[in-house]
Amino acid sequence: MQKLELTWIGKDDAQVPLEPRILIENPKYSYGTVEETTLPSGKPWHGNMLIHGDNLLALRSLTQQYTGEVTCIYIDPPYNTNAATPYYDDMVEHSYWLGLMRPRLEFLRQLLSEDGTIWIQINDDEQAYLKVLCDEIFGRSNFINMVSVNMKNIAGASGGGEDKRMKKNCEYILVYAKDYSKLPLFNGPYEYIEMSDLIQQYLDEGKSWKYTSVLLNPGEKEYIGSTIDGDGNEIKIFRRINVVTASISQLAKRDGISQKEAYKKYSVSVFRTTNAQTSIRTRIIDFRKDNNIQNEYLSIEYIPKTGKNKGIIYEQFYKDDVCNLFVWLRDTSEIIEGELYKKNLQGTYWDMNAWMKNLTKEGSVQFPMGKKPEKLISQIFDMCTQPGDIILDSFLGSGTTAAVAHKMGRKYIGIELGDHAYTHCHPRLKKVTDGEDQGGITKSQNWQGGGGFKFYELAPSLLKEDEFGQYIINPEYNADQLAAAMAMQEGYTYCPDKNTYWKQGRGTEQDFIFTTTQFLTAETLDRIKETMAEEESLLICCTACQKEARNRHANISVKKIPQMLLKRCEFDRDNYNLNIVCPPQIDDTEEEFEDE
C-alpha cells in the first residue's frame, strides 16, 4: 500500500539493532541530594539523570525502564547549517542528517507518555524535511503546531541579509503529541512588551491606555454579607472604608520621577476599571441594590473553580453603583531584568527578544550559536507539564533544559555526547543545586537551591574483538556490571536479592536471571535447584559450563556468553553520529557449547 513519506539516500538500508548499554554512575560528578521514589506506573525512579554518551545508544538503553514515562521532550538538535561549531559537527549532508534524526525520534516517541508532547527546535534549513519526517514517525494527526520564535539576538540565528537572503531572526519549534486524543489542554503562553514601549505605541496609534490608576491604600474592610456563585459556593462581600487612589501622572509628579519609573514603582497596584459582563459581577450588583449599599468601593472573596486562581481564596474590588471591576496590571505584566513588561496571551509567534540581553550569562557558561533562554524552555514546561513530571533532552548542549526542569521541580533526563557534559552541564547544574545560579528563571521561580542529580557514563560495548578477531566479554566490565548488562540484554530488571545470590534480576514475580563467570557445574546447578520454589524459573548466563549441567532441570535454562549474544545486535561501536550501517556478517549457526 502506498503512503505519503519522505525518502532519502540510505533510508531503506538494512538497520542493525542497537546494543542496549547499561548506565554506570560516576560518583565523582553526581551531586546533591537525590530522592529515589516510585513513578505512578510503579517503576522505580532513581533521581535526576545527567548522561554522558552517544544519545542514540543512551535512548536505546532508557527505553527498557522509561518507555511511556516521559511527559515532555524538548530537543534542539544540530541544524545542519554548514556552519560547524566547536561543540557539534554540524556539516552533515541532508540524507545523513535525516538518517541521524530518524532512529532518535523513533526512540523518543517510545519514551513519551500517552498524553506527552515533543518540542523540536530547528531553523529553516531542515524544518520542512523534519516536519514530513515527524509526520511519518508521530503521525500527521498528532501534529499540534509549528511555533515561530523570534531569536534575533542570538548570534547563531542572525546570519544572512548581506546579499540575496533575508536576515534570519526566527527559528521554529515543531510540536507533536504522542496521542492527540489524550492530550490535555495547554496552559497559555505569553508575549512580552516593555511597558514604556507599549504605552508609546498606544499613543502613536491614538489608542486609549487605560491602566492609569493606582490603589495606594485598599482601606479597611468590613464584612457585610454573602451571596453565592452559579454552583452555590459562597462569595463574601466587604465594604471598603478610606480607600486611597491616585493616577500615575499625579504620582510621577509628586515623586519627581518619570511615568516609566512610576509604573515600575507602583506596578503591583496599578489598575483600570471595566464593566466586564460576568455572572459574579451581576450578583454583586444585585446584592448592592437589594441591601441599599452606598459605599463607593466593595470587595469580594471567593474560591474560583477554574482558571489560574483555582482552589485559592481570591479577592476582587468593585467601584461605584455599577460595580466596575478592578483589573490589575500585575495580572498581565512582569518585571524582567528590572524592567516592567506587559504580557499578552500569544499564539504561534513567540517573541523571546526580552530575554536575549543577558543570554550569554545564563548558567554562567558560554555556548555560542546554540544556547536557548531559560524563559523559552520554562514557557514550554508551563504549558504542558506539572511538578514531578519527567522531562527529557537528548541534545542537552549547555544544560539549559535540565537547569530549567530542576528549578521548576520537574524530574529530568539529560543526554550529552560532548565534553561539555563535564565543562558546561555539570557545573551549571551544580550551581542550580547550590542555589548559586541567580540568572534565567531563578527569581520568577523563587528558586533557592536543593535537590541533586546523578551523573552517568554510557557503558562501553559488552563485547569487543580480541587480537584474533573473535568477540569476547569486554574486560572493562566487573561482575556486577556484567550481571546488570545481561539482565538488560535479556529484558530483566536488574535488582540483586541480598538473601539469594542467584536472584540478580527479575522478569516476572517468579522469573529470574543469574550471570556468572565461574565454571558452572552440575553440582552447582543442583544446589541452586534445591533453593528454588516449585513455581520459580531461572535463566543462567555463563561463560563455561559442564556438559552434565545442560538441560538438567526443566525450570532452569543455561546459555553461554558471548555466543548467545552475537546474532542480536551490533557490538563494539560507540559512535552513531551518522546512519547506522550493517556490521560484518556474523556466523548465524545455532548456538553450541564447546565441551569443557
pLDDT in tens, the chain (596 residues): 667 788 888 888 878 889 999 999 999 999 999 989 999 888 899 999 999 999 999 999 999 899 999 999 999 998 876 544 555 555 457 788 888 899 999 999 999 999 999 999 999 888 999 999 999 999 999 999 999 998 875 444 444 545 677 778 899 999 999 999 999 888 877 777 888 888 888 878 888 899 999 999 999 999 999 999 888 889 999 999 999 999 999 999 999 999 888 988 998 899 999 998 888 999 999 999 999 998 899 999 999 877 667 788 989 999 999 999 999 998 888 877 777 888 887 789 988 887 877 788 888 888 776 789 999 999 999 999 999 999 999 999 999 999 999 999 999 999 999 898 999 999 999 999 999 999 999 988 999 999 999 999 999 999 999 988 899 999 999 999 999 999 999 999 999 999 999 999 999 889 999 999 999 999 999 999 999 999 999 999 999 999 888 889 999 999 999 999 998 898 988 877 643 333 333 343 334 444 44
* CB neighbours of residue 424 within 10 Å: 24
What residues contact 32, with CB distance under 8 A and at least 6 apart?
Answer: 430, 433, 434, 450, 451, 452, 453
DSSP lists the bridge partners of residue 324 as 319
| Predicted pLDDT of residue 162 | 54
Residue 585 is predicted with a pLDDT of 35
Give the Cα-Cα-Cα angle 204, 206, 207 (nearest 5 degrees). 110
* CATH number attached to the domain at 23-28+38-52+63-189+346-421+436-458: 3.40.50.150
According to the model, what pLDDT value does residue 594 have? 47
Instruction: Report how far residue 25's alpha carbon sits from residue 38's, in angstroms, rounded to the nearest whole number.
Output: 19
The pLDDT assigned to 577 comes to 64
51 burial via Cβ count (<10 Å: 0-12, 13-18, 19+): buried
What is the DSSP code (8-state) at residue 422? Answer: I
pLDDT at 16: 81
- Alpha-carbon distance of 13 to 28, in angstroms, equals 41
What number of other Cβ atoms are within 10 A of residue 66's Cβ? 22
- Cα–Cα distance, 471 to 572 (Å, whole number): 9
What sections of 165-257 are H helices per DSSP?
Answer: 195-204, 248-255
Contact by Cβ (8 Å): 484, 22: yes
Domains in the chain: boundaries: 1-20+461-596, 23-28+38-52+63-189+346-421+436-458, 195-335
Q: How far is CA 561 from CA 468, 482, 519, 589, 592, in A?
A: 18, 10, 12, 15, 11
Which helix (H) or strand (E) segment is 237 a member of?
Answer: strand 234-241
What is the number of H-type helices and E-type strands within the chain?
A: 13, 31
The helix/strand/coil state of 549 is helix
